Structure 1
């Protein structure tokens, strides 16, 4: 069986266009990942990049952030791209903090903006070895 690294994609409302642009720019690289995304983010990426199979979870505020967190804790994700909108009030700010904490605890790469995500996805180390 071939190892396919897993990557989660999450974006706040004001950053969904940025996530779509990121996916379009890296469609060839992302095609080598098992992709998971919260509800609307996953729908937008799937619509813009139909060749990318994205497993859609619940919307972030309805539990999708917790689903991603559980996947991190279970060792099922190799990276997290979470485009956070720092200029809008965040009613689910605790979810952002929880995902950040889990990514740190379980030592997975996490990008919170486009520049960092571009560098992360270009790294040959991202998903280079099977999860333990």
Structure 2
């Protein structure tokens, strides 16, 4: 599974701790992250996410492009609901794309835990079917 990791500044520590706690579950998956968040994950864990630009510099949009191409299966986006974000339209667009393409998104630790437990049980394996159907449609074009 392809998993995106994004966190606002005030939530980066929480996401890093989450990644440390579930490193054994996440090890077998391809991870992608916005710049600073991904760097912190790399420093604190044995995980090696592919790094995109930082969120305000287009990293959210790079992940959004993967969602639009049906190449992202899960998004962990720890949002800070108490701080204004200058790139709020990009954040909203990312969330909207997850809804359009039925990509599970967790915006807080509680939801992320539910999704990670589901991932470890195989509850998200239906994403592999979605990805397979997408490839078949593209091949027929």
- Measure, in 1, the Cα distance between the counterparts of 2:108 and 2:124: 17
Given the two structures, how large is their TM-score scaled by the length of structure 2? 0.87
Secondary structure of 2:4 counterpart? strand
Cα deviations across residues 80-127 of structure 1 (Å, max 9, x unaligned)? 000000001111111110011000000010000000001101102234
Given the two structures, how large is their TM-score scaled by the length of structure 1? 0.93
Higher RCO, Cα 8 Å, sep 6+ = 1
**Of 86, 96, 105, which aligns to 2:100?**
105
Q: Mark the structure with the bigger radius of gyration.
A: 2
Q: How many residues align?
A: 127
How far 1:128 sits from its partner (Å)? 5.4
Map 1:1-132 to 2 at 5 A. Answer: 5-49=1-45, 51-123=46-118, 124-127=122-125, 129-130=127-128, 131-132=131-132
Work out whether residues 56 and 87 of structure 2, in 8 Å CA contact, stay in contact via their aligned partners in 1: yes
How far 1:129 sits from its partner (Å)? 4.7
Gaps of at least 5 residues in structure 2 are 133-141
Q: 1:26 to 1:104 in 2, by over 3 A?
A: same
